[in-house]
Amino acid sequence: MARSKKSTESSTKLRRGDVTRLGRLPTGSLDLSLGIHLPERSCKDHFEIVEPGINAEGVHTWPFDPSCPIDVLFLTVDDRHRVRMNRHSYFEVLYLCSGSANCHIQDRLLPFNEGDLAIIGSTLYHRIECQSSSPLTLAAMFFDPDIIRCDGASDSTEYLTPFLLQDTDFPHIVPAETGVPRQVLDMMLRVRSEQPASSPRSRLALKTYLKMLLMHLVNQYAQYAGTVETFQRQQQALDRLRPLFRYLGENCGNCIQVGQAARICGMSESHFMSVFKRVTGLSFVTYINHYRIERAQVLLATTDRSIADISQRVGFCDQSYFGTIFRRTVGMTPVTYRRLVRAHNFSEQAQLDHMPPISLGGLSVPAIPKRNLAEKNGIQLTGRNPDLIAKRNGTWDRVATPAKTDWR
């Protein structure tokens, strides 16, 4: 498609504090030197936003406004926590504002670079994996496809075809060089400018911008040869696995083997393993371990239960094996994870109390006013120096604060 070389200034109205510098949003060629800078207060932590909403089936739910089920938000992703592979009933559009990542979809790792766009439908398990030394920033749009379908027009579903054609070879990443990602981002920001859509006019404007966005994607994928039958086959496979996901949600603490899982789904072991890998992108053993480790992380962060008790509660019959899988998945031991999370929570609380933080091995920690408050948050004190967690050479270790630090 021929593209004009003329760029125009975006007329998008942004809410105060959303974007400090957007640069030009081109209608033609793309100037890759123009970046997007977001203030921290506009960004939410991807792990904290997404992970709690994932159930045993690996399905994420989002609390849409029923009158207008669409949201645009800014997210930060780092390499400390990885969201579990998940899918969702809504459709997702991601623009990578800064950093580099892999878009892990089923068993594929797709390079996701600054300025690229990723589009993800409702049947594929996926997650974003940070590949940058610093956190990456995403502009994300979630929307319920019914916001388009409910219009009742005979051609409404055609707006959604790029999300319905996503087979195993689908090109989910739209490169920045095409110019399409910045055009889509422009529409995403226009959608955000109309939120909350509290009036008929704002809802009409929001749907109009969404359809304009979808037309950019329809044009981008016009030559793709996928079929809607692919979407239907994936849905049928998900339906066959649903009894197993329901069982896992109700019996997380029970040990389950592949043979038992296959019987729950009414399949032979070999067929079950093939279907499960095709649907989730993971082997059954890997999937169940990731699910149990996530449950263990919640218990470690929110309870004082022993490591042995937690390992039993989430379905690991052997505590040593639990420690091995936890360390392989999270990158640290369960004990270290518990101390780190509690130190982090304590740090945030102290900052809310306007205490000046100090830098300790890459971890921002505030001055501790009271020994009992520190110990309440899981930080052990030795003499005048708290024993804290700090990141050194990519790993988390326990370190003592230098004696010269004044802990008042």
Can you list the domains of the chain with their CATH numbers? 40-220 (2.60.120.280), 228-331 (1.10.10.60), 336-400 (no CATH)
252 neighbors 295 (Cβ within 8 angstroms) = yes
Q: Taking each helix axis from N to C terminus, what angle separates 200-220 and 180-193, rounded to the nearest 10 degrees?
A: 170
Place of tokens 């997210």: 75
Task: State the pLDDT at residue 340.
Answer: 82
Structure tokens at 374: 């520190």
| C-alpha to C-alpha distances, 74 to 17, 37, 309, 369, 374, nearest whole angstrom | 12, 11, 38, 34, 33
Inter-CA distances, 286 with 141, 276, 282, Å: 29, 11, 6
Cis preceding linkage at 196, omega within 30: yes
Task: With residue 322 as reference, give the H or E element that holds it.
Answer: helix 319-330
**Residue 66 to residue 215: CA distance in whole angstroms:** 24
Backbone angles phi, psi at 77, to 5 degrees: -130, 130
CA 382 from chain centre, in angstroms, equals 38
- Dihedral, CA of residue 59, residue 62, residue 64 and residue 70, to nearest 10: -90
- Tens of pLDDT along 310-320? 998 888 888 88
Residue 374's pLDDT is 36
Is the four-CA dihedral 30, 33, 39, 44 of positive or negative sign? Answer: positive
Which one-letter DSSP state was computed for residue 158? G
- The CB density around residue 354, as the number of other CB atoms within 10 Å, is 7
pLDDT of the residue at 229: 64
Residue-level pLDDT at 355: 41
Instruction: State which residues of the chain have pLDDT below 50.
Output: 1-35, 351-408
In Å, how far are 101, 224, 321 from 130, measured between CA atoms?
A: 4, 28, 27
Q: Are the beta carbons of 76 and 45 closer than 8 angstroms?
A: yes
pTM: 0.57
Cα separation, 379 vs 313, whole angstroms: 25
| Nearest one of 187, 92, 182 to 143, comparing CA atoms | 92
What are the structure tokens assigned to 189, written together?
């920001």
Q: Residue 228: what are its φ and ψ, rounded to 5°?
A: -65, -25
Cβ neighbors of 316 (< 8 A, separation 6 or more) are: 292, 322, 325
